[in-house]
């Protein structure tokens, strides 16, 4: 099955595309031109079980976020909520290539789907968004501050760049345990996720320098969706190709199609292999696009309609479905069944979160300090 999928995807990538799907509207800009230049890309080979796993994870992320939007606009959810629609291939492609509950993960304020990919139960994530005691952060964090020690999720962070030093510390711990404490089995790799807007702040460059200096096992995953809130990426940096900044530190850098989960998975697998082998970090730039505004409070009036339509044609979930079906690994009916299962899980997590208790006022100061 793996050979069949690899051959089918290679043929698909090499074949010319008919119609206007590959015509880049002026509004899409150089970000879209860079995206097109990545074809044909090296893509991971997957079997039936792996393909279904990837599809389910991406579908769960998309439907979870859609339900969050519904709850927010119905006045059931409060605060700032930043959704991940369109970027699912990055979370699934990287995290599902790693070892859950062994490796470590660090997110941003757009963290719901990262948490789900890490294995945090949907009930716990939704409960946290409702500020309930059953949330993964016990109702203290909300949308932007998801955390799970059990699932090695080091947190979501509201300020850009905050999570990168934390991720670096996790990678340092892994290396220190192996080299200084003699723990030969200490080979955990850390993935730090952040956006294109973060790549102009000090923590980014400082941590790249330290990671290379000490050859730390870390993946710096740039989710370049072109827009840092309302700032066009090409107007905000002297070199829009972020992956090239790795060269200044002697670090491996790679650019990948962030709308293609198999391309992301292949790039992540290469970076993880280098990290576990003690060869140091990788800067992985994933060219992707968010389908919604910066947050649910954003009217999304700055982006051109032509630009949004261009990227909508490259929906990562639809692409994976087409790949798996064309390779004969799954049927359309099987994918529909997965979607029904996911919808049932989403309905369950909302009902659970609504019925869950609020944090008790007597525990207001709990979780500030470490507990025995």
pLDDT tens digits, residue range 127-183? Answer: 999 999 999 999 999 999 999 999 999 999 999 999 999 999 999 999 999 999 999
pLDDT classification of 63: cutoffs 50, 70, 90:
very high
Question: In the chain, what are the helix, strand and coil shares in percent, each to the nearest 5?
Answer: 50, 10, 40
pLDDT at 369: 86
- With a CB cutoff of 8 Å and minimum separation 6, the contacts of 305 are 27
93 vs 91: CA distance, rounded Å? 6
pLDDT at 29: 57
368 domain residue, yes or no = no
pLDDT at 65: 98
Query: DSSP for 232-246?
Result: EGGGT-S-S-GGGGG
Is a pLDDT exceeding 70 seen at residue 214? Answer: yes
User: Using an 8 Å Cβ cutoff, are 271 and 219 in contact?
Assistant: yes
More confident residue, 132 or 366: 132
pLDDT classification of 216: cutoffs 50, 70, 90:
very high
Going along 216-334, which residue ranges are E strands?
Answer: 218-224, 227-228, 231-232, 252-257, 282-287
Residue-averaged pLDDT of the chain:
91
Widest Cα–Cα separation across the chain: 65
Percent of the chain residues past pLDDT 70, beyond the cut: 90
Angle at 82 between CA 80 and CA 86, to 5 degrees: 165
75 domain residue, yes or no = yes
Handedness of CA 129, 165, 229, 87 (dihedral sign): negative
CATH (domain of 321): 3.40.50.970
150 vs 118: CA distance, rounded Å? 10
**Digit-coded pLDDT (tens) for 3-51:** 444 444 444 444 333 333 333 344 445 777 777 776 556 899 999 999 9
Of 21-30, 105-114, 144-153, 335-344, which range is least confident? 21-30
Of 31-40, 58-67, 176-185, 278-287, which range is least confident? 31-40
Q: Which residue has the tokens 């945090």?
A: 120
Say whether 221 sits in a helix, a strand or coil.
strand
pLDDT at 23: 37
Is a pLDDT exceeding 70 seen at residue 187? Answer: yes
307 domain residue, yes or no = yes
User: Using an 8 Å Cβ cutoff, are 152 and 101 in contact?
Assistant: yes
Length of the chain: 372
Query: Taking residues 294-306, what's their average pLDDT?
Result: 93
Q: How many domains does the chain have?
A: 1
Is a pLDDT exceeding 80 seen at residue 69? Answer: yes
pLDDT at 26: 44
156 vs 84: CA distance, rounded Å? 13
Q: Give the residue numbers spanning the domain of 288.
A: 47-354
pLDDT at 38: 67
pLDDT classification of 64: cutoffs 50, 70, 90:
very high
């Amino acid at each position: 099955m793996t050979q069949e999928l690899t051959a089918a995807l290679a043929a698909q990538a090499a074949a010319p595309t008919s119609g206007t799907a590959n015509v880049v509207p002026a509004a899409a800009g150089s970000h879209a031109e860079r995206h097109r230049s990545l074809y044909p890309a090296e893509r991971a080979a997957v079997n039936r079980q792996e393909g279904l796993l990837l599809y389910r994870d991406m579908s769960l992320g998309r439907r979870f976020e859609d339900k969050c939007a519904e709850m927010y606009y119905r006045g059931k959810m409060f605060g700032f909520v930043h959704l991940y629609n369109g970027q699912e291939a990055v979370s699934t492609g990287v995290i599902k290539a790693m070892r859950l509950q062994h490796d470590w993960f660090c997110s941003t304020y757009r963290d719901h789907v990262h948490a789900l990919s890490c294995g945090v139960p949907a009930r716990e994530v939704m409960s946290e968004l409702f500020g309930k005691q059953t949330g993964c952060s016990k109702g203290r964090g909300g949308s932007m501050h998801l955390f799970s020690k059990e699932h090695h999720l080091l947190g979501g962070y509201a300020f850009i760049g905050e999570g990168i030093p934390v991720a670096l510390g996790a990678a340092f711990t892994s290396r220190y345990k192996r080299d200084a404490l003699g723990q030969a089995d200490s080979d955990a790799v850390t993935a730090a996720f952040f956006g294109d807007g973060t790549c102009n702040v000090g923590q980014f460059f400082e941590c790249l320098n330290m990671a290379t200096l000490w050859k730390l096992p870390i993946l710096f995953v740039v989710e370049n969706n072109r827009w840092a809130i309302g700032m066009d990426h090409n107007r905000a940096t002297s070199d829009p190709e972020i992956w090239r900044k790795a060269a200044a530190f002697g670090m491996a850098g790679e650019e990948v199609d962030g709308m293609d989960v198999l391309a992301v998975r292949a790039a992540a697998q290469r970076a993880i292999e280098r990290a576990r082998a003690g060869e140091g970090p990788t800067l992985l730039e994933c060219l992707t696009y968010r389908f919604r505004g910066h947050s649910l409070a954003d009217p999304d009036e700055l982006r051109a309609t032509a630009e949004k339509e261009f990227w909508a044609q490259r929906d990562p979930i639809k692409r994976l479905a087409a790949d798996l079906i064309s390779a004969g690994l799954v049927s359309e009916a099987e994918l529909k069944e997965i979607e029904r299962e996911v919808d049932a899980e989403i309905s369950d997590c909302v009902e659970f979160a609504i019925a869950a208790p609020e944090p008790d006022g007597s525990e207001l100061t709990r979780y500030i300090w470490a507990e025995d």
